[in-house]
Amino acid sequence: MTESFRRSGEYENPQGPQGDAYQGAYPQQQHASSPVNPEWPPPPTHQPAQQPSAPEDGTAVLPTVGLDAEHPAEHPAEHGTHSAPKKRTRGPIVLLAAVAIVAAAVGGGTAYAFQELTGKNNVVSSSTTTSVVPSSKKGDVASIAAAVSPSVVEVNATLSNGTSTGSGVVITSDGEIVTNNHVISGAQSVKVSTSDGKSYTAKVVGTDSSKDLALLKLEGASGLHPATLGNSDGVQVGDTVVAIGSPEGLTGTVTSGIVSALNRDVTVSTDEGQQQEQQGGGSGQWPFSFGGQQFNGDTGSSTTTYKAIQTDASLNPGNSGGALIDAGGNIVGINSAMYSASSDSSSSSSDAGSVGLGFAIPINTVKSDLAKLRSGSTS
């Protein structure tokens, strides 16, 4: 795994601008405009004009057709009878406009417009064909970083034997954060720092060790920038991807690469004691295995296996729980594990580094697990 770990008293986690090359470098952006809720007009203050009755001399009075408030009748009824102009009724027209807005939201592949109409703080989701960055900047790493960096946070967990540093992804504006379970496993307290330098206390809402996922909720947070969750089923080998996280506490670090492989069976430990033992072993890497081989240490006897996206984008300790992003700026994975060049427990974490073998949990797996995490499950 790719969270960084140190024992108490070894060193202080660097804070501030010197540890974050990208922090504050990009303006915060909204991913979509907020539609306005339509309001129904009040009922008319008078009854509609009645059709004049036929005169006693038998002359027929023809009804008027196709008139509205902007085009009144040019030839009023004869015999001195004048019909009062009808007030334009706006209810049905506004209803059609409201339906058109909702239809456009669904047809466009994004839940944002519907979210604003209903007033619910739901996860922003889109297909991978939707670009968070301008279409002319698709695949441009600088544009992707500018758009998504405000949605990636640093997660610091205080453990009984030290601290664990990882990353997380903002999924709602009021502070729901997705991260890896192994980043916060056994935590006595959790602090989260956003890209603008603000710090929040976070509580663990739910965990799923079988998928190495956890959901945090920030206390007193509002107005955050939720990431747009894409569709990992549309990811292909060779696609350009960008990773954003906090390796070694360097908040907002951006790296890029491609998707190297899909559906890798990555096996990780689910035993908390084993997790903390490996974290404290000095390698700074989370133990995992695939293809029958162990990496970064022994995963132990209590394990789980999930399908992962493999990438050669550089991942280092502290990237765990961060974002893997497609060329359009959509989140397609949560970074979770990397191969370390040094798996010897006697070596220091500074000897370890990315060698182009990183793994991410597909975002569709995350989306399917959100309801369980929000319910408070701690499996």
Q: Report, as residue numbers or ranges, the catalytic residues.
A: 182, 212, 320
Q: Cα separation of 341 and 353, whole Å?
A: 6
Q: Label residue 186 left, alpha or beta by phi (over 0 means left) and psi (-120 to 50 means alpha).
A: left
What sections of 108-193 are H helices per DSSP? 112-118, 141-148, 181-184
CB 252 within 8 A of CB 168: no
Bridge partners of 268? Answer: 288, 304
Beta bridge partners of 345: none
Q: What is the CA radius of gyration of the chain?
A: 29
Run of H or E including 364: helix 363-374
CA atoms within 13 A on the CB side of 109: 12
DSSP class per residue in 262-322:
EEEEEEEE--HHHHHHHHTTSS-S--EEETTEEESS---SSEEEEEEEEE-S---TT-TT-
The pair phi, psi for residue 135, each rounded to 5°, is: -60, -30
Residue type, 295: F
- The answer to whether the CB of 36 falls within 8 A of the CB of 52 is no
Query: CA–CA separation, 108 vs 115, rounded Å?
Result: 13
Q: Which of 276, 168, 264 is nearest to 213 (CA)?
A: 168
Cα(67)–Cα(73) distance, rounded to whole angstroms? 7
Distances (CA, A) of 86 to 65, 76, 91, 318: 12, 13, 15, 68
